[in-house]
Amino acid sequence: MSTMESKGRPEASPERSSPSDAVDRLAGLLPDEALEDALQGLAPEQITGPGGLLTQLAGRVIETALGAELTEHLGHPPGGAPQGANVDPMELAKFSALAHRWWDPTSEFRPLHEINPLRLAHIERLAGGLAAKRVLDVGCGGGILAEAMAAKGAAVTGIDLAEKPLKVAMLHRTEVGSSTDYRLESAEDFARARPAAFDIVTCMELLEHVPDPASTVDACAKLVRAGGYVVFSTINRNPKAYALAIIGAEYVLGLLPRGTHDYARFLKPSEIASSARAAGLETEALIGMTYNPFTKTYRLEPDTSVNYIMTFRRAE
């Protein structure tokens, strides 16, 4: 791998602190030959592809750095989410690290605050109102949508696998006197415990962060009652989505921290539709969510090429 040649062991220096220096120092820990040996026989996609060597290495480094914190918050060792769980510990670490700013509308979570009224109105419209509806919000994070739905009269449960955002959600619930019920649960486990228990299941901005989105879609389908609604929002996968959602949002406009999204995990509406069909859901609606960088506003419109909301209904 000529592109990955080690630069040799850099001198240790106490003032060094930038991420690229840290990378140099880590690379220096392995002799060139060991690096060559380790990379021998790996196909390029095994190195840079989803779940490949680079992602796993980054995961190890983050786990080591955040190990104590993750253990404390998740109640199990870092990377040690229940065996076989449909979760990427690196993703939880990213959201945990920022969780204290979840309700700051000028923070990294600003896009979620700004799209919230749009998606709330859309869900209300489709489901014929939220009052007295039993709603489950999967991957609820700090509770921006969950709380808004509860404020409309729904009985809302929010589940997430990151404990820190859930704690923030609980604190905020107390501050505003909301009735939302928050739990540290995976969609799959919750589906086994509470089949068909909800009128509406929302799963927003989550599918692009899980290793097996089809399993999440299947769990959501099991959680909703016959005739109930399941609403997903995520990011489409095509060159325009790459340009806008990653280069634009993370690098040019700085709307999101770099590394928030992994292009390979973006999902085409047809892919969600096929998992949904297999899980017994029927497509009800598909709408795009666009961002205008000049007016700095989001809108719902037919263009689904980047962000979109897709709603399904469980067959009666």
Handedness of CA 263, 268, 273, 278 (dihedral sign): negative
Strands 181-184, 155-160: parallel, antiparallel or unpaired by DSSP?
A: parallel
In the complex, what is the shortest distance from the CB of residue 112 to ligand SAH, in angstroms, rounded to a whole number? 4
234 forms part of the interface with ligand SAH (CB under 6 A) = no
Q: Pick the closer one to ligand SAH by CB: 28 or 257.
A: 257
In the complex, what is the shortest distance from the CB of residue 51 to ligand SAH, in angstroms, rounded to a whole number? 14
Q: Pick the closer one to ligand SAH by CB: 97 or 281.
A: 97
Give 157's strand partners: 136, 181
C-alpha 41/C-alpha 36 separation (Å) is 10
79 forms part of the interface with ligand SAH (CB under 6 A) = no
140 forms part of the interface with ligand SAH (CB under 6 A) = yes
DSSP 40: T
Query: Tokens for 232?
Result: 């997903």
Q: Which stretch binds ligand SAH (CB under 6 A): 37-45, 59-67, 139-147, 299-307?
A: 139-147
Q: Pick the closer one to ligand SAH by CB: 141 or 228.
A: 141
Q: Which stretch binds ligand SAH (CB under 6 A): 31-39, 172-180, 199-207, 301-309?
A: 199-207
Q: How many residues of this chain interact with ligand SAH, rule: CB under 6 A?
A: 21
Query: Tokens for 308?
Result: 């979109």
In the complex, what is the shortest distance from the CB of residue 222 to ligand SAH, in angstroms, rounded to a whole number? 15
Query: Tokens for 228?
Result: 């109930």
Binding mask 86-125 for ligand SAH (x = CB under 6 A): xx---xx--x----------------x-------------
C-alpha 96/C-alpha 104 separation (Å) is 15
Q: Which residue has the tokens 């016959």?
A: 226
Query: Which one of residues 63, 108, 124, 205 is an interface residue with ligand SAH (CB under 6 A)?
Result: 205
273 forms part of the interface with ligand SAH (CB under 6 A) = no
Which parts of the chain are beta strand (E)? 134-138, 155-160, 181-184, 198-204, 224-235, 281-292, 297-301, 307-314
C-alpha distance from residue 74 to each of 68, 161, 194 (Å): 10, 8, 22
Q: How far is CA 34 from the centre of its chain?
A: 35
In the complex, what is the shortest distance from the CB of residue 137 to ligand SAH, in angstroms, rounded to a whole number? 6
Binding site for ligand SAH (CB under 6 A): 86-87, 91-92, 95, 112, 139-141, 144-145, 160-162, 165, 186, 204-206, 209-210
